[in-house]
Amino acid sequence: MSPTSSKKHVIVIGGGILGASTSLHLTRGGAQVTLVTAGPLADGASSRSIAWLNSSGARSADYHYLRMLAIDRYRTWSVHHPESQNYLRFDGAMKWAGPNETFRDTFAFERAGGYDSRWVDRSDMARLAPDVNADAVAEEGAIYNPGEGWLNMPDFIPALVAEAVANGADVIERAGDVRVDVQDGAAAGVILGDGTRLASDEVVLATGGEVPGQLAALGVAVPDATPAAFVLFTDPVDVKVKTVLNTPRVAVRPTPDGRLVLDADWAEQTVIVEDDGSFTVPEESIEGLLAEASKVLAGNPRLTAQRVGAGLKPIPGDGEPVVGPVPSIPGLHTVFTHSGATLGLILGELLAEEILTGTPSPVLKSFRLDRFAADNGTPDVVSTGAWAPVN
């Protein structure tokens, strides 16, 4: 990276993986960085994610390329940070179709694009994924992606921020309702929850599912399909689980401390958004997820819930990332995406490079905010609540 001004001051709003990654990469390029977050680090969507690292399924060519770059960055991180094996693993993932469905076309698509995808039969489970209950796998078999993995973001984000701080970044946690300070039509800094103004040359808005609302307050519309969602963290389990599972009724991944993280489309659709903005998860959804997870694991272990994390799951209206400058507000940049775990390192790197060099990244060309512009020059607002696959 060759920044045009190594002393540029950038304020990053958001203490999740995207804000942390962008902050780190900005400091690597020589910028003065202040990372500001409403609460503690990693307390938003990053704290309640399956965090499956993948480019699984049918995706646009540009999006697939971006995700493959993203996975490459994690492999590089794992080599240069040996301690990361505690929170970053590439032990493979498996998925299979539900009743009256088939994954043969998905498998053909993945193979045609050169993705490491293998068709496996039930008889292969004991060898490839002994933690999987072979009887739960679809009769037609399953797709095994040996190069996929998982990330535990509550461990990873502090590592990113620690390196950013070592490079000179300042971090302000529990700053309350942080707003972009727009003066004379341009981003001039931020206003903290207590009214304190902090000035900067550039501002990055990386607040997950809050991005559309915060941009709307500035007169900028972005199509939004962000639903309420939840993940369930189990108590420690006796079964050694390594493989990420994305099955018709439950997604499962292990954690560094021997627990499991669970979620599912049907379960998140039961989340109740209360009048005060809080989230309630029905008890039957919790028990249902535990039961579904037990079915797909070898030995059908009895699973119990330790805690539930509910909130907004960031998803742009068309399912693909929104990254880069906000055209109507000079000095303001945003990053709003699903699959923040997979994309965290690469989007932070590319966005930081754009800010420091002033040169747009060709890799991000397809993911600009202005792709939504209608004939009248303003973005269409879309709010579908549509579901997208987990990270």
Percentage of the chain beyond pLDDT 70 is 94
pLDDT for the residue 383: 36
Mean pLDDT of the chain: 93
The burial class, CB within 10 Å (0-12 / 13-18 / 19+), for 248 is: middle
pLDDT bucket at 373, cuts 50 / 70 / 90: confident
pLDDT bucket at 362, cuts 50 / 70 / 90: very high
Domain 93-146+228-312: what homologous superfamily? Answer: D-Amino Acid Oxidase, subunit A, domain 2 (3.30.9.10)
pLDDT bucket at 387, cuts 50 / 70 / 90: very low
Mean pLDDT confidence for 211-236: 97
pLDDT for the residue 391: 52
Mean pLDDT confidence for 242-252: 96
Q: Is the pLDDT of residue 366 over 80?
A: yes
- Domain ranges in the chain are 1-90+150-222+318-391, 93-146+228-312
Mean pLDDT confidence for 45-74: 95
Q: Is the pLDDT of residue 384 over 70?
A: no
Mean pLDDT confidence for 351-357: 98
pLDDT bucket at 7, cuts 50 / 70 / 90: confident
Q: pLDDT for 300-320, tens place per residue?
A: 999 999 999 999 999 999 999
Determine contact, residues 222/215, Cβ cutoff 8 Å: yes
Calpha distance 166→154 (Å, rounded): 19
Cα distances (Å, whole numbers) of residue 385 to 3, 228, 267: 39, 8, 14
Mean pLDDT confidence for 230-239: 95
User: Residue 266 corresponds to which tokens in the numbers above?
Assistant: 């049907």
pLDDT for the residue 4: 46
Mean pLDDT confidence for 57-77: 95
pLDDT bucket at 1, cuts 50 / 70 / 90: low
- More confident: 139 or 379: 139
Mean pLDDT confidence for 267-284: 95
Mean pLDDT confidence for 43-51: 92
Sheet holding 179-183, edge to edge: 179-183, 186-191, 197-199
pLDDT for the residue 390: 44
pLDDT for the residue 239: 85
Q: Is the pLDDT of residue 93 over 50?
A: yes
Nearest to 232 by CA among 255, 208, 200: 255
Determine contact, residues 59/67, Cβ cutoff 8 Å: yes
Q: Dump the DSSP string for 121-148.
A: -GGGHHHH-TTB-GGGS-TT-EEEETT-
User: Residue 258 corresponds to which tokens in the numbers above?
Assistant: 């021997």
- More confident: 89 or 373: 89
Cα distances (Å, whole numbers) of residue 226 to 45, 85, 275: 11, 31, 18
Tell me if domain 1-90+150-222+318-391 and domain 93-146+228-312 are identical in fold.
no
Q: Is the pLDDT of residue 137 over 80?
A: yes
Q: Is the pLDDT of residue 248 over 60?
A: yes
The 10 Å Cβ neighbour count of residue 57 is: 16
Task: Assign domain 1-90+150-222+318-391 to its CATH architecture.
Answer: 3-Layer(bba) Sandwich (3.50)
Percentage of the chain beyond pLDDT 90 is 91
pLDDT bucket at 374, cuts 50 / 70 / 90: low
Cα distances (Å, whole numbers) of residue 142 to 26, 122, 379: 41, 8, 40
